[in-house]
């Protein structure tokens, strides 16, 4: 059924739906809601908490609309019998006409505390009589949400009953899963929470089962790689040149990776560990091993800041051993870029370090044999695969994650990889002491920072993103700089934010590293890739707006020297903040973040390629993860079974549509 056959689809809406990739009515059924709102679960204003989305009924007390820096701001004070709260909308001038004094609405939004005051940014509004669980779809421009919901209903009425079920009846019965058509209906039109949970569970089970079948197929493929001479003897010159001994965990993981590289079956290994555990030196040891075997290697980082840090460290550690290192990133242009490309193509360059520029058109390698990707979850499967295809044979691949990942999530994200964990920190590192600081204690915190600066130390102050807008982000950081300069006029304070050009960012970061300033007020651009041992204080403004895992990463920017370091979280006390203050174990924090916020928010960015949010949600359900594992084992234990063969074919077809090429068994 073509989408233009649906009632209510005229020329404008037809074009809008086509722009969104929707041409057939059935496609509306596969485009699942991205969220839900339960209008019957309501919160009183006095019970609103920062960082927790809520539905609350309130009356308009006053409202105003103003223009600030070219932006329309609509403010409203709303209240119920328990208290009042401020709401603010950006560039929605029509709100001013809606919000009549005395009118009552249901508000849906995420309260956040900014400088001691609770407010709700851009809440949705609905009539007070609204009830039930309503789906929230990704918006389609020129198609209002209410109209889109009606189109989904029409699509179901036309195609829903004809859906076939890809899972055998015996498998569904074994794990008490509802039918496929029932599950699709349940995610679009949930009757209650129990029905919605069962539907989401079934569809997530399908997605993860298909992915795990494909990953198992990948792991069973025959190797077409190059076996290298890879052992501790080969890399001993590199180890001897290090000014320190590797920890036991580093040695164990290094031996595992070297053992992989001695096989013609290409290495495919994830190395994860906590902040500061020493994963990078393992990577450099493998780069040196590639050099000793006469093959090229590449190391890809998600940001220029991190890539430049890896490049500088590689030059320091590897070039004295005869390794020729080049860099490729967006800021490398002209003569340096042309020379780097020539050296890689001719084979004169041994190691390439850079960003996604390493996989851009025109970059050719003579004999790429080892690939290392850092912060893999920021790239996505397709980008990693593109780099692998730069090699003539399948290269050995090591993936590093600086974000500790619970094992259930690692199985979703990296099901095709062997997993190693560096679970030991270098000796002598003092744990960072973390304190939750309410707004009323700000002056005391400023005094502490001033005292640290007087003793020759430095500090970071991190401001959150606002509305995912670099402009708002910069304005927030700018205001913080002004406040801190007023409080500490004799302290050197610099500002760093995402609107700056790369050259300006590098100048400020390098200046901070050389102690040209005392306090760096920044956005999360300093989350990774900044190493300043003299920095002993980290302040995170509006900490509730960040995930625990991200806060842990930010905290990892301090505690890199011999002095005691501190992290101050500007927030009201809460379970999340107490969790972070109570432990420095990144894996404990990551598991808590997974439980409390969900995997999509925890990872910071939506996964690209084959991994979607519904599938990721499964990572928080270890029981279902175990059931999926049992189902996968059954499939490969009886590969000749007709139903199992059908599932493997279906898995290949579905994953191919999502950009993953899977070897046929």
**Of the given ranges (13-22, 178-187, 210-219, 284-293), which has the lowest mean pLDDT?**
210-219
**Of the given ranges (12-21, 71-80, 465-474, 626-635), which has the lowest mean pLDDT?**
465-474
Using a 10 angstrom Cβ sphere, with 0-12 exposed, 13-18 middle and 19 or more buried, the burial of residue 290 is buried
Percent of the chain beyond pLDDT 90?
43
- The pLDDT value recorded for residue 114 is 67
Cβ neighbours for 267, distance < 8 A, ≥ 6 positions apart? 225, 257, 260, 261, 396, 397, 398
Cβ neighbours for 429, distance < 8 A, ≥ 6 positions apart? 276, 559
DSSP state, 429?
A: P
Classify the phi-psi angles of 419: left when phi > 0, otherwise alpha if psi is within -120 to 50, otherwise beta.
Answer: beta
Query: How does pLDDT run across 101-149, given as a tens digit for each residue?
Result: 999 999 999 998 766 678 999 999 999 999 999 998 988 988 988 899 9
Average pLDDT of the residues in 160-181: 88
- The pLDDT value recorded for residue 380 is 47
* Domain 433-583, architecture per CATH: 3-Layer(aba) Sandwich (3.40)
As a residue count, the chain comes to 665
Is 236-422 a CATH 3.40.50.280 domain? Answer: no
CB atoms within 10 A of CB 303: 19
- The pLDDT value recorded for residue 611 is 44
Query: How does pLDDT run across 369-390, given as a tens digit for each residue?
Result: 999 988 644 444 455 556 666 6
Most confident of 108-122, 165-179, 206-220, 296-310: 165-179
Tokens of 190: 């949930």
pLDDT for 474 beyond 50: no
Distance in angstroms (rounded) separating the CA atoms of residues 20 and 13: 11
- Alpha helices of 262-297 — where are they, by DSSP H? 279-292
Query: How does pLDDT run across 324-352, given as a tens digit for each residue?
Result: 999 999 888 899 999 999 999 999 999 99
Distance in angstroms (rounded) separating the CA atoms of residues 253 and 266: 17
Strands (E) in 463-603, as ranges, are 493-496, 519-522, 535-540, 566-570
Tokens of 313: 């460290």
- The pLDDT value recorded for residue 662 is 42
- The pLDDT value recorded for residue 386 is 61
Transcribe 47-62 into DSSP letters. Answer: G--TT--EEEEEEEEE
Distance in angstroms (rounded) separating the CA atoms of residues 395 and 357: 18
Using a 10 angstrom Cβ sphere, with 0-12 exposed, 13-18 middle and 19 or more buried, the burial of residue 316 is exposed
Angle at 200 between CA 199 and CA 202, to 5 degrees: 65
**117-121/111-114 β-pairing:** antiparallel
Strand partners, 89: 74
**3 state SS for 472-486:** HHHHHHHHHHHHHHH
**Of the given ranges (189-193, 258-262, 482-486, 623-627), which has the lowest mean pLDDT?**
623-627
- The pLDDT value recorded for residue 472 is 46
Cβ neighbours for 45, distance < 8 A, ≥ 6 positions apart? 56, 58, 78, 79, 80, 82, 83, 84, 85
Tokens of 342: 């020539």
Cβ neighbours for 360, distance < 8 A, ≥ 6 positions apart? 328
Phi, psi angles (nearest 5°) of residue 229: -80, 105
424 CB-side CA count, 13 A: 10
Distance in angstroms (rounded) separating the CA atoms of residues 366 and 656: 29
Strand partners, 325: 351
Contact 133, 36 (CB under 8 A): yes
Strands (E) in 343-438, as ranges, are 351-354, 368-374, 396-401, 418-422, 433-437
Distance in angstroms (rounded) separating the CA atoms of residues 450 and 322: 46
Q: Which uninterrupted H or E stretch holds 381?
A: helix 381-388
Is 41-126 a CATH 3.20.19.10 domain? Answer: no
Distance in angstroms (rounded) separating the CA atoms of residues 303 and 312: 14
Could you tell me the pLDDT band of residue 38, with boundaries at 50, 70 and 90?
very high
Could you tell me the pLDDT band of residue 606, with boundaries at 50, 70 and 90?
very low
SS3 for 444?
A: helix
Query: How does pLDDT run across 436-462, given as a tens digit for each residue?
Result: 999 889 999 999 999 999 999 999 999
Give the residue from 378, 412, 384 showing the smallest Cα distance to 606: 378
Distance in angstroms (rounded) separating the CA atoms of residues 213 and 208: 8
pLDDT for 603 beyond 80: no
Could you tell me the pLDDT band of residue 529, with boundaries at 50, 70 and 90?
low
Tokens of 75: 């403010």
pTM exceeding 0.75? no
Contact 257, 282 (CB under 8 A): yes
CA distances (Å), origin 191, targets 58, 127, 186, 194, 593: 26, 20, 7, 8, 29
Percent of the chain beyond pLDDT 70?
85
**458-462/519-522 β-pairing:** parallel
- The pLDDT value recorded for residue 658 is 53
Helices 575-582 and 548-555, axial angle in degrees (round to 10): 40
Residue with tokens 């370090």: 353
Give the residue from 127, 123, 115, 42 showing the smallest Cα distance to 76: 123
Question: Which ranges in the chain are annotated with CATH 3.40.50.300?
Answer: 236-422, 433-583
Residue with tokens 């000749």: 640
Tokens of 20: 């969104």
Give the residue from 183, 196, 76 showing the smallest Cα distance to 132: 196
- The pLDDT value recorded for residue 96 is 84
Average pLDDT of the residues in 155-162: 82
CA distances (Å), origin 309, targets 312, 521, 533: 5, 20, 14
DSSP state, 42?
A: B
CB atoms within 10 A of CB 438: 13
Average pLDDT of the residues in 418-435: 85
Average pLDDT of the residues in 528-532: 68
Distance in angstroms (rounded) separating the CA atoms of residues 536 and 436: 16
Contact 361, 387 (CB under 8 A): no
Phi, psi angles (nearest 5°) of residue 123: -70, 150
Distance in angstroms (rounded) separating the CA atoms of residues 27 and 331: 41
Cβ neighbours for 47, distance < 8 A, ≥ 6 positions apart? 54, 82
Tokens of 508: 């400020």
Tokens of 97: 């006409």
Could you tell me the pLDDT band of residue 42, with boundaries at 50, 70 and 90?
very high
CA distances (Å), origin 271, targets 138, 355, 412, 625: 34, 19, 15, 21
Contact 257, 271 (CB under 8 A): yes
Mean pLDDT of the chain: 84
């Amino acid at each position: 059924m073509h989408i233009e056959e649906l009632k209510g689809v005229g020329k404008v809406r037809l074009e809008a739906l086509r722009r969104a990739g929707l041409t057939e009515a059935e496609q509306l059924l596969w485009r699942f809601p991205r969220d839900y709102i339960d209008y019957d679960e309501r919160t009183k204003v006095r019970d609103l908490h920062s960082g927790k989305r809520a539905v609350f009924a309130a009356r308009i007390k006053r409202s105003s609309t103003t223009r600030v820096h070219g932006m329309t701001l609509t403010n409203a004070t709303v209240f119920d019998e328990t208290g009042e709260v401020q709401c603010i909308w950006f560039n929605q001038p029509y709100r001013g006409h809606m919000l009549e004094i005395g009118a009552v609405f249901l508000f849906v939004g995420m309260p956040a505390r900014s400088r001691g005051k609770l407010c709700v940014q851009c809440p949705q509004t609905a009539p007070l009589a609204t009830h039930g669980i309503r789906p929230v779809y990704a918006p389609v421009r020129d198609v209002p949400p209410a109209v889109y919901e009606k189109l989904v209903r029409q699509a179901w009425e036309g195609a829903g009953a004809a859906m076939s079920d890809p899972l055998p009846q015996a498998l569904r019965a074994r794990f008490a899963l509802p039918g496929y058509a029932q599950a699709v209906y349940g995610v679009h039109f949930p009757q209650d929470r129990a029905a919605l949970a069962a539907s989401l569970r079934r569809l997530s089970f399908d997605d993860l089962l298909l992915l795990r079948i494909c990953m198992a197929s990948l792991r069973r493929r025959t190797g077409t790689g190059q076996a290298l001479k890879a052992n501790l003897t080969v890399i001993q010159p590199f180890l001897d040149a290090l000014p320190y001994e590797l920890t036991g965990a580093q040695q164990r993981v290094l031996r595992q990776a070297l053992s992989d590289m001695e096989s013609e079956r290409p290495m495919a290994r994830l190395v994860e560990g906590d902040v500061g555990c020493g994963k990078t030196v393992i990577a450099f040891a493998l780069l040196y091993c590639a050099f000793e075997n006469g093959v090229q290697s590449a190391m890809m980082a998600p940001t220029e800041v991190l890539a430049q840090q890896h490049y500088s460290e590689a030059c320091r550690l590897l070039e004295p051993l005869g390794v020729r290192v080049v860099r490729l990133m967006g800021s490398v242009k002209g003569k340096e870029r042309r020379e780097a490309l020539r050296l890689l193509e001719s084979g004169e360059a041994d190691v390439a370090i850079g960003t996604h520029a390493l996989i851009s058109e025109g970059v050719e390698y003579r004999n790429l044999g080892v690939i290392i990707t850092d912060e893999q979850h920021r790239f996505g499967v397709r980008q990693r695969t593109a780099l692998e295809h730069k090699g003539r044979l399948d290269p050995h691949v090591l993936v590093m994650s600086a974000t500790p990942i619970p094992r259930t999530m690692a199985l979703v994200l990296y099901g095709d990889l062997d997993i190693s964990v560096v679970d030991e920190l270098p000796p002598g590192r003092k744990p960072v002491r973390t304190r939750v600081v309410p707004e009323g204690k700000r002056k005391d915190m400023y005094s502490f920072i001033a005292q640290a600066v007087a003793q020759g130390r430095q500090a970071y102050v991190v401001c959150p993103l606002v509305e995912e807008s670099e402009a708002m982000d910069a304005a927030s950081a700018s205001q913080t700089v002004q406040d801190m300069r007023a409080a500490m006029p004799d302290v050197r304070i610099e500002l760093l934010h995402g609107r700056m050009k790369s050259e300006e960012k590098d100048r400020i970061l390098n200046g901070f590293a050389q102690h040209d300033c005392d306090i760096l007020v920044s956005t999360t651009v300093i989350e990774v890739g900044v190493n300043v041992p003299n920095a002993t204080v980290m302040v995170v403004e509006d900490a509730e707006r960040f995930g625990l895992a991200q806060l842990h990463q930010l905290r990892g920017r301090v505690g890199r020297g011999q002095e005691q370091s501190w992290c101050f979280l500007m927030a009201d006390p809460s379970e999340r903040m107490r969790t972070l203050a109570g432990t420095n174990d990144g894996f404990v924090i990551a598991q808590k973040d997974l439980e409390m916020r969900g995997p999509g928010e925890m990872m910071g960015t939506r996964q690209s390629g084959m991994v979607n949010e519904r599938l990721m949600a499964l990572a928080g359900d270890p029981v279902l993860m175990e059931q999926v594992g049992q189902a996968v084992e059954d499939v490969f234990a009886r590969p000749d079974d007709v139903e199992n063969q059908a599932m493997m074919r279906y898995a290949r077809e579905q994953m191919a549509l999502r950009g993953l090429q899977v070897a046929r068994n």
